[in-house]
A and B are shown apart, each in its own frame.
Chain A
Amino acid sequence: MTDAATPSTITGATDPVLSRRPESRAWKKFRTHRSAVLGGILVLFFVAIAVAAPWLPIPDPAATDWGAVRKAPSAAHWLGTDEIGRDVLARMVWGAQASLLAGVVSVAIAVILGVPLGIVAGYFGGWTDAVISRCTEALLAAPFLILAIALAAFLGPSLTNAMIAIGISATPVFIRLTRGQVLSIKAEDYVESARAIGLPTPKILSRYIFPNVLPPILVQATLTIATAIIAEASLSFLGLGQQPPAPSWGSMLNTAKNFLNQAPWMALWPGISIFLVVLGFNLLGDGLRDALDPREN
């Protein structure tokens, strides 16, 4: 990109507005979007903690200490201890890993399943579309969390199965969104011209349809990560997610509910963390939507 400070040469082509790529325009809009940046910082903060967990100077999250049961926050245990003397800070940090992993992996599953199905349904139409769309509607008829609980119960309680269950439950949303986008993109002239060039259908789908339906999917994926984190917490709360003694924010809340009077900090930290990370992803998603929206200059 040309330096904005130097006056552009006479060739009209170096107009700084015109010569900016769409990515950088979106990035500029994102940068100046305050709540989006706040969301990004929140998300980055939790991601950094989750990634750095093994190297942080914190005790083993599963190590019990019968001399320090349900201790309030102190210099030794910054966020206090739980009902069998485990360090809440350590469990929070490792729990962040479980929560973010569950959010990202389950959304990845939903995207990997949903986007191709949506593209196929939208592009080919007819019977293919009818079958895929009716199945989607059947899945959508069941509430998201109920479906996830049913699937997780069916698959058996573990973090992996919880992620699969959440991923499958979130898939229909992506099928519908992608299908709708494809319906509008496939009517674009450049898809017609791709066919006139003689490109085979798979190439048209991957090079002409997919990249152009991506922005709304990206926004939806970011927002769905927030939902998936809540869903994972809910499943863990119900004992269908992360299994003890491995920590997760949902299962910590589950235990904490029994000691709300004696040790409120046990519930406070996971609650606040879930709130903040979900808020972060939502703000980030809204910011992305505004930044990628072509309608606003």
Chain B
Amino acid sequence: MTQPPRTTPETAPADSPVLRLGALEVGFRGQPVNVLDGVDLEVSAGEILCVVGESGCGKSVSAMALMGLLPPAHTRISSGNLTFDGEQFDLTRQTLPPRLRGGRMAMIFQEPMSSLNPAFRIGDQIAESVLQHQGGTHASAMARALEMLRRVGIPAPDRRLKEYPHQLSGGMRQRVMIAMALANDPQLLIADEPTTALDVTIQAQILDLIRELRDSLGMACLMITHDLGVVAEIADTVAVMYGGQVVERGPAAAVFENPQHPYTIGLISAVPRLDAPGGRLATVPGSVPPIAAMPTGCRFRNRCPFAADICAGKPPLAVQDGGHAVACHFAPLEQNLEVVA
């Protein structure tokens, strides 16, 4: 079957995804239980996918695995296939062709304060990345660096080009990181908590910038965050992770308005609201067990109010409707829980 765009039935953005990550399993050496247990993700061109979950749920490890950045000395990818722009890659080899990493797939990090080399001017650092992937002369790479600095909205870019990282503020440095990541026109930008270290006003500016660049460049964007406010503001689609598994995935509106996994429901109700009456904040009871003590089957079942015997078996990430997929035996909750209760 030839596929004309926009006819694929189940997923919301209809184009074939730029990135399709399947069955990613990652273990730390000397740990019997996998840290990532079958993670599946998809991002299409022009789409922003937010991966949310609490600390240690495997968000960053997924991104690092995707970039081929997990150190083989400490980690083992036992399964995982990556389809990137129609090309297949085997992630278990724990290395990616250099043209992919930093070229067609770029990444920005959480800590802009320490993510730039203090020993070089920022222009040289951006140019270095350009030279690495596009070749050309130093002068042309510097021209590209200048263009990128202007693009990410840095004032007086020609002067900033010659400055050292310590002369810039955190927000400016994150803009530089973004400029560096986008200098090679990547098809996918991976942003690992890009706004966590910034204060709220700068955070909004950076999110605006990412959205605007996504619109003008049409790239796909995989953003990792634990901040549901960020998700609500920017995400087209959301993937909720818990204990190294994707537990719920779908269009942002669907996930927010009709969360189906008990963990997602807990997360969303735990967000403090200005318009709601005071009192204790809602929490998800219990805490994430250490990786070695993860329950078998559904990894959330020891904290889940609805847990039953069936939860000892691993629930599949089943598509409900409109591309909204949930890994829970009881989904859709509204219908099934009455049966149990």
CA gap between A18 and B164 in the complex, in Å: 10
Residue B336 at the A interface, CB < 8 A?
no
Determine chain B's interface SS by DSSP, over half rule.
Answer: loop
Q: Determine which of A21, A193, A198, A208 lies in contact with B133 in the assembled complex, contact meaning CB atoms within 8 Å.
A: A198
Smallest distance from the beta carbon of A11 to chain B beta carbons, Å? 8
Q: Determine which of B116, B128, B163, B177 lies in contact with A199 in the assembled complex, contact meaning CB atoms within 8 Å.
A: B128
Residue A188 at the B interface, CB < 8 A?
yes
Q: Which residue of B lies closest to A191 (CB)?
A: B117
Give B contacts to A, CB under 8 Å.
67, 69, 73, 98-103, 106-109, 111, 114-120, 128-129, 132-133, 155-156, 159, 163-164, 166-167, 177, 180-181
Q: Which residue of A lies closest to B99 (CB)?
A: A198
CA gap between A21 and B162 in the complex, in Å: 11
Residue A19 at the B interface, CB < 8 A?
yes
Smallest distance from the beta carbon of A231 to chain B beta carbons, Å? 32
Most chain A beta-carbon neighbours within 10 Å: one of B73, B99, B115: B115
- List chain A residues, Cβ under 8 A from B164: 21-22
CA gap between A189 and B128 in the complex, in Å: 17
- List chain B residues, Cβ under 8 A from A207: 117, 120, 128
Smallest distance from the beta carbon of A95 to chain B beta carbons, Å? 39
A211 touching B167, Cβ below 8 Å:
no
- List chain B residues, Cβ under 8 A from A13: 155-156, 159, 167
A193 touching B115, Cβ below 8 Å:
yes
CA gap between A208 and B163 in the complex, in Å: 17
Q: Determine which of A189, A197, A203, A211 lies in contact with B120 in the assembled complex, contact meaning CB atoms within 8 Å.
A: A211
Q: Determine which of B106, B114, B163 lies in contact with A190 in the assembled complex, contact meaning CB atoms within 8 Å.
A: B114
A197 touching B129, Cβ below 8 Å:
yes
- List chain A residues, Cβ under 8 A from B100: 198
Most chain A beta-carbon neighbours within 10 Å: one of B102, B107, B119, B167: B119
- List chain A residues, Cβ under 8 A from B117: 190, 194, 207-208, 211-212
Give A contacts to B, CB under 8 Å.
11, 13, 18-19, 21-22, 125-126, 188-190, 192-200, 203, 207-208, 211-212
CA gap between A208 and B159 in the complex, in Å: 23
Q: Determine which of B114, B156, B166 lies in contact with A189 in the assembled complex, contact meaning CB atoms within 8 Å.
A: B114
- List chain B residues, Cβ under 8 A from A199: 102, 128-129, 132
B98 touching A200, Cβ below 8 Å:
yes
Beyond A189-B109, A193-B116, 4 additional pairs, beta carbon < 8 A: A189-B115, A196-B101, A200-B132, A207-B120
- List chain A residues, Cβ under 8 A from B159: 13
CA gap between A194 and B128 in the complex, in Å: 10
- List chain A residues, Cβ under 8 A from B118: 22, 190, 212
Q: Which residue of B lies closest to A200 (CB)?
A: B98
Q: Determine which of A21, A190, A196, A208 lies in contact with B102 in the assembled complex, contact meaning CB atoms within 8 Å.
A: A196
CA gap between A21 and B156 in the complex, in Å: 18
CA gap between A19 and B73 in the complex, in Å: 41
B109 touching A192, Cβ below 8 Å:
yes
B167 touching A19, Cβ below 8 Å:
yes
- List chain B residues, Cβ under 8 A from A188: 114
CA gap between A13 and B102 in the complex, in Å: 30
- A and B contact pairs by CB, cutoff 8 A, 26 listed: A11-B156, A13-B167, A18-B167, A22-B118, A126-B73, A189-B109, A189-B111, A189-B114, A190-B114, A190-B116, A193-B180, A195-B101, A196-B102, A197-B106, A197-B132, A198-B98, A198-B129, A198-B132, A199-B132, A200-B132, A207-B128, A211-B117, A211-B120, A212-B117, A212-B118, A212-B119
The answer to whether residues A198 and B69 also contact, given A13-B156, A193-B116 and a CB cut-off of 8 A, is no
- List chain B residues, Cβ under 8 A from A200: 98, 132
- List chain A residues, Cβ under 8 A from B111: 189
CA gap between A22 and B181 in the complex, in Å: 26
Smallest distance from the beta carbon of B221 to chain A beta carbons, Å? 15
CA gap between A188 and B100 in the complex, in Å: 23
- List chain B residues, Cβ under 8 A from A195: 69, 101
- List chain A residues, Cβ under 8 A from B128: 197, 199, 203, 207
- List chain A residues, Cβ under 8 A from B109: 189, 192-193, 196
The answer to whether residues A196 and B167 also contact, given A189-B111, A207-B117 and a CB cut-off of 8 A, is no
Smallest distance from the beta carbon of A196 to chain B beta carbons, Å? 4
B114 touching A198, Cβ below 8 Å:
no
CA gap between A189 and B170 in the complex, in Å: 14
A197 touching B102, Cβ below 8 Å:
yes
B101 touching A198, Cβ below 8 Å:
yes
- List chain A residues, Cβ under 8 A from B180: 193, 197
Q: Which residue of B lies closest to A188 (CB)?
A: B114
CA gap between A19 and B180 in the complex, in Å: 22
CA gap between A194 and B159 in the complex, in Å: 23
B98 touching A190, Cβ below 8 Å:
no
- List chain A residues, Cβ under 8 A from B166: 22
Smallest distance from the beta carbon of A168 to chain B beta carbons, Å? 29
- List chain A residues, Cβ under 8 A from B119: 208, 211-212
5 nearest CB pairs, A to B: A198-B102, A211-B119, A197-B102, A198-B101, A189-B114
